[in-house]
Amino acid sequence: MPVVTPTKRKPAVRKTGPVSLARKPARVPAPPAARAATATTLTLSSKNYSSWSLRGWLLLRFAGLDFKELMVAADDADARRELLLLAPSIRVPCLSHEGAKVWNVMAIAYYLDEICPGAGLLPAERIARAHCRSVCGEMNSGFANLRSSLPMNLKAHHPGHKVWGGALPDIERVVEIWTDCLQKYGGPFLFGARRTMADAMFAPVATRFLTYDVKLPEACRGYCATVMAMPEMQAWVAAAKLEPDEIEELDMDF
Ligand SMILES: N[C@@H](CCC(=O)N[C@@H](CS)C(=O)NCC(=O)O)C(=O)O
């Protein structure tokens, strides 16, 4: 199966968040003092398709931080220019908090752990904490075949989908990680009774497994159900389903 890259989108003005950057003219950046006083914001793109946006958003919700969503359209040149003012990587998600600009999901996760230590984004115990950091890092930098051949699409459901062979080792590795964590820490979340950054990192994998009807061992099916039942996840999915825009390449019949 060819690798699917979400490059072309139907032009869309995003109305899903409280604030939209997908508009003209480009904004002039506020001076540093004013910026420090502005509200905490998280820059996101599509709730239906952007798995990294979902990860960042869940992390902020788990941390209990109050924030505004800034929605950007990845294919809109003006919006991308504005996004560059927020995130030098021109990627979402990007967190702006009290003068700090934080891009890349793992950087956001560790920043939130630093400013909200009581949120338990990392397990309390040293060895579990090292384990949690490791599986999060693995998710952040790996699983390219899984990500490209089973793109997140919360509106879609493909029963009996035939998974491309190249993605199978990635799926097996996720199953191994989840099974190990659920056995070691007793579930229902990966590191036990409390949600950690690992649950945010793997949440879009759970949605992909459901979207593409990936056959899983019982414990992993149970974990997918746990992820989908989180109130934050239900709120995100409901908002995603209301988004008008579609990426044709990702809505193809497999
Ligand atoms: N691991 C990276 C991945 C971020 C990423 O690739 N985000 C995608 C959206 S899901 C993006 O912004 N793409 C826009 C682009 O590449 O132009 C991070 O956490 O920053």
Domains and CATH numbers, the chain: 19-118 (3.40.30.10), 121-251 (1.20.1050.10)
Measured CA to CA, the distance from residue 177 to residue 215 in angstroms comes to 16
Per-residue confidence band for 251, with pLDDT thresholds at 50, 70 and 90: low
Residue 82 has what pLDDT? Answer: 78
Helix (H, G, I), strand (E, B) or coil at 95: strand
Q: Are 144 and 174 in contact (CB under 8 A)?
A: no
Expressed in angstroms and rounded, the spacing between residue 180 Cα and the centre of ligand 1 is: 28
pLDDT digits (tens, 9 = 90+) for 50-85: 999 999 999 999 999 999 999 998 677 787 777 788
Q: Which of 91, 111, 208 to mutate to test the pocket of ligand 1 (most atoms within 8 A of CB)?
A: 91
> Quick check: CB of 143 below 6 Å from ligand 1?
no
Q: Is the pLDDT of residue 110 over 70?
A: yes
Q: Which amino acid belongs to residue 245?
A: D
Residue 12 has what pLDDT? Answer: 35
Per-residue confidence band for 204, with pLDDT thresholds at 50, 70 and 90: very high
| Protein residue closest via CA to atom 13 of ligand 1 | 91
Report the share of the chain in percent with pLDDT over 70.
82
Measured CA to CA, the distance from residue 225 to residue 242 in angstroms comes to 22
Expressed in angstroms and rounded, the spacing between residue 17 Cα and the centre of ligand 1 is: 18
> Quick check: CB of 45 below 6 Å from ligand 1?
yes
Residue 79 has what pLDDT? Answer: 78
Residue 37 has what pLDDT? Answer: 53
Q: Is the pLDDT of residue 27 over 80?
A: no
> Quick check: CB of 86 below 6 Å from ligand 1?
no
Query: Which value, in Å, is the radius of gyration of the alpha carbons in the chain?
Result: 18
- Residue 66 gets which letter from DSSP? -
Those residues whose C-beta lies under 8 Å from the C-beta of residue 186, and which sit 6 or more positions away, are 192, 193
Alpha carbon 196 to chain centroid, angstroms: 14
Lowest mean pLDDT among 32-41, 196-205, 234-243: 32-41
